Structure 1
């Protein structure tokens, strides 16, 4: 884990100046990029799986996109996203930066350490080995609380330009210095995130809250994302994490068979699949398991680390 200090002048990395005349080009200039999308480094075979067998090929992460991770407060969206980031670091060697503006870095890392080892009580040796393993893979923007919108945009540009980060998690939109009812500012902020993602290849994961519905037992959809309607319109993907609150009202036998959560891909602009998966939540490890009775997994850091489990 490497901390990104809050005293960097990130706004210097966000520059909106453009030469519009130079942007008008013949369409044939994109021929090689189109070939690359079908047959090269950016083809579907290079997309990054989020880490479960049943999600492979249905929802994978592509460079240069903005994904909204939405859910009702307390339904596990931050925990699920932590699980995803751990998976892509482990499976694909992705470089990730967490801007967890609602949670202290030590709390975020404690959650991820439990997910990594697959037990509720990681040993001191494993914790040390895990944090060493994150070097070169995981960075944290060391700030808790509100951040001015332009500053957050500067962070996004900085981590891509200076650190070569593949994925930036911003948790959450409500901490980015935007008024609850200032829909124009929210729209402009998300629009700028999309521009940074598209221009640099950074994949930006933006955590958003949901509007309160009629009842918590009713699963929300993409139109329930809190804030400006353009947030859902402009983003490339929308993933909704919903805790199965109806499970607690059933008897013990039915509770065990019912999933604990549903994760729904409510929008995927650049791929045709939309749908939901059921997950079972393992509380001790904070892992989301893809089938009932599944066993938590462990990130094997090296030959010595496997003995820490």
Structure 2
């Protein structure tokens, strides 16, 4: 576990010296079910990874909702139909302090997540909204 702590310390030093942001993608422990959103205490490995980070973002896909829409014989479920397809949660924010969860809806045609269920996706080829 000390090697993980040393690695994150080196990343932080590079980021501070170069005045850049470094994004480290880190996985969480497998829970009993994928229906429960993970939190910063679910991170694998050394606790130093979460302790040393300035910000932690947790991305969670609503796989229960995905399975619902993939089932052609589904019975109506208003809760799943209106729920977000994913969330991104700021679970640690040392510099600003704001910790908040943002809901995201997946647009299949553009393969983008949007901030609301009726937001038009961004046209990446033209740089405009579609």
Q: TM class, shorter-chain normalised?
A: 0.7 to 0.9
Give, in whole Å, the separation in 1 of the partners of 2:117 and 2:109: 16
Give, in whole Å, the separation in 2 of the partners of 1:202 and 1:280: 30
The reply on whether 1:275 has 2:100 as its aligned counterpart is yes
TM-score of the pair, normalised by structure 1: 0.37
**Aligned in 2, Cα 1:263/1:272: closer, same or farther, shift over 3 Å?**
same
The reply on whether 1:190 has 2:15 as its aligned counterpart is no
Match of 1:203 in 2: 21
Match of 1:246 in 2: 64
**Aligned in 2, Cα 1:251/1:194: closer, same or farther, shift over 3 Å?**
farther
Match of 2:91 in 1: 266
Tell which structure's C-alpha radius of gyration is larger: 1
Count how many residue pairs are aligned between Structure 1 and Structure 2: 121
TM-score of the pair, normalised by structure 2: 0.83
The reply on whether 1:223 has 2:23 as its aligned counterpart is no
More helix by share: 1
Give, in whole Å, the separation in 1 of the partners of 2:107 and 2:76: 17
Give, in whole Å, the separation in 2 of the partners of 1:251 and 1:259: 18
Structure 1 gap ranges (5+) = 1-182
Structure 2 gap ranges (5+) = 69-73
Displacement after TM superposition at 1:256 (Å) = 2.9
